[in-house]
Structure 1
Amino acid sequence: MKPSSSGGSGGPRDSYHHGALRDALIVAADQILEERGPEGFSLREAARRAGVSAGAPAHHFGSTAGLLTEVAILGFDGLRNALHEAGEAASTPGARLRAQGVAYVCFALAHRGRFQLMFRHDLLQPDNERLESVGSAALAELETSIRTYLGADKTANPKVLRAMVLNAWSTVHGFAHLALDGKFSSFAHPQSLNDFVSETLDEMLGIAWPDS
């Protein structure tokens, strides 16, 4: 995305419309996160890639944490959509959970930078209501599937439900980080990592969540 020409002596650096500049900075942030990870992110570098002055990101997002929080919000929204779509395509409660588990890890592999950022609360705005809301919505996709899988009699016990949600989340989240760290490369060969995840994780989750 290129800034429109202003025709003045100042050039195009800050001639974006507000919404276009916001989007350009988010694209730039995504690129940096993908290449360097959260630790390598720089607000100045995001501005340079967007072709605007170093102060422009702070003007629109308030701070580095403000820009990164917007990227994390988009990440959680994308994850929620991926989990929802995977669940809708499944035919049984067990298949729904397994499909969502695979979708969780595949999302992490497809959006490495965003995924790594989403859980770095030290880099994000504290108490951001939109971030909290979209993160809860993503987790609620798993919780809804687990409620269906367990049945009304077991979900009536909140401790059982919470234990199952945490078990499901920690399983797929841990698998995602192992995949991102390259720990499965030797196991996956000669398959692609995505094919390995789809087959092996589905088998693993089938042990925990078999169809009755």
Structure 2
Amino acid sequence: MNHPRNKPYHHGNLAPALVAAAAEMLETDGAKAVNLRELARRAGVSAPAVYRHFAHKDALLAAVAAQGFAALVVEFERARADNPVPLDALRALGQAYMAFAQDHPHLHGLMFGPPVAGVPPLDDGEKSFRLLAETVGACLGESATPERTLSGAIALWSLVHGYATLRRDGQLAQLPMSSLPDPVQIITSLSLNA
């Protein structure tokens, strides 16, 4: 009697397929809904096959967050390219950040949630902040120092992030936002004048 030999594990692009499936689950139901067993089922592989690429769920979610930061960097670069005047570019960065948080609420929450132990910082996460800091420095012009630029970038990011998170989570739903001046323009002006 012939016994079929165990075929060696093979799935051409399993890691990207798992990241894509996890991103889809995340967008639909949030990070808690991402389930490695379900991801394996969707990819047509065994659950242990998932662990050949990702040691644990947090490592997979870090890969999803990395894709999110890469997408945010693309939006930031586009905003800067479309707005050659530094203050306009800064406001466009704020608007891009707001739109990203609104369009991808669960991904935004994952990207800016608590760091995961054992997962190194994400290059594109650092790049997105560097793009912001460079734009703040350009707005400050001759008065820019490394300390003032960094402080301004932190203040601006904190304010826009806070506003984006409040809006994303529905905390501002009862306020007449459409009749108010654009908060991002106010935030950028306040941050640069501090």
SS of the aligned residue for 1:144 comes to: helix
Amino acid at match of 1:16: H
Shift of 1:183: 2.0
Root mean square deviation of aligned Cα: 2.9
5, 29, 34: which is aligned to 1:36? 29
Residues 27-57 of structure 1, C-alpha deviations (whole Å, 9 max, x = no match): 2111221122223332222223323221221
Please give the alpha-carbon distance, in whole angstroms, between the structure 1 residues aligned to 2:90 and 2:79: 9
Please give the alpha-carbon distance, in whole angstroms, between the structure 2 residues aligned to 1:204 and 1:37: 31
Please give the alpha-carbon distance, in whole angstroms, between the structure 1 residues aligned to 2:84 and 2:156: 19
Does structure 2 conserve the Cα–Cα contact (< 8 Å) formed by 1:66 and 1:125? no
Q: Superposition pairs for residues 1-212 of structure 1, below 5 Å? A: 16-17=11-12, 19=13, 21-122=14-115, 124=116, 126-128=118-120, 131-152=121-142, 154-156=143-145, 158-187=146-175, 200-205=182-187, 207-208=189-190
TM-score by length of 2: 0.82
Does structure 2 conserve the Cα–Cα contact (< 8 Å) formed by 1:98 and 1:209? no
Shift of 1:201: 3.2
- Return 33-42 or 99-108, whichever deviates more: 33-42
Amino acid at match of 2:158: S
Question: How many matched pairs?
Answer: 188
Amino acid at match of 2:47: A
TM-score by length of 1: 0.76
Please give the alpha-carbon distance, in whole angstroms, between the structure 2 residues aligned to 1:34 and 1:143: 29
Residues 41-99 of structure 1, C-alpha deviations (whole Å, 9 max, x = no match): 32222223323221221112222122111111111111111111111111421111111
Ranges in structure 2 where 5+ consecutive residues have no aligned partner: none
Please give the alpha-carbon distance, in whole angstroms, between the structure 1 residues aligned to 2:191 and 2:148: 15
Please give the alpha-carbon distance, in whole angstroms, between the structure 2 residues aligned to 1:27 and 1:90: 32
Tell me the percent identity: 31
Ranges in structure 1 where 5+ consecutive residues have no aligned partner: 1-7
Does structure 2 conserve the Cα–Cα contact (< 8 Å) formed by 1:69 and 1:125? no
Find the counterpart in structure 2 of residue 4 from structure 1: none
Does structure 2 conserve the Cα–Cα contact (< 8 Å) formed by 1:102 and 1:201? no
